[in-house]
Structure 1
Amino acid sequence: MDISGIISAIVIGLIIGALGRLVLPGRQRVGLLWTLLVGIVAALIGTAIAGGLGVADTKGIDWIELAIQVVLAAVGVGALDRAKARR
């Protein structure tokens, strides 16, 4: 992954974090900064998984890659919410 790929993953990660939070039902006790960080990590990991599966290099929008990223972000936000609820 080159530098433009990393920068685009970060920008997409900001959107992915918000989408992952919207997918979860109910109210999450996770701040905006944590949501964005989870989205960035989910975007990077989702891109790697999609590349490993061979679905990342398609023409147009990579819907499968986007779905993987949103699911990872939702899992990450949900796990972080549960961890904060235990405190």
Structure 2
Amino acid sequence: MRTIMTLWDLPSKQLATIKAIRSDIRENVKERLSEMGLEDGRDVQCIRKGPLGGPIVMQLGGSVFAIEQELASKIEVEPQHS
């Protein structure tokens, strides 16, 4: 069974596939996410989350990025299981 969750809900060290980026994100932010490589079908891994709702640190390919909780909660992912 497929489980869809948000990037923010993804546990640390968990690998997932990006399924959708919600349409209510501003267009310029979507463009920036695309430039970072955050697009449907890409694999992403949660490295860690900052305390008290701080940013999520994620790995996307060979790069590491941090984005805020509000934005991470608008990116839908499907966890991958080993």
- The higher-RCO structure (CA 8 Å, 6+ apart) is 2
More helix per residue: 1 or 2? 1
TM-score range, shorter chain: under 0.3
Q: How does the TM-score come out when normalised to structure 1?
A: 0.25
TM-score, reference length from structure 2: 0.26
Which structure has the larger Rg?
Answer: 1
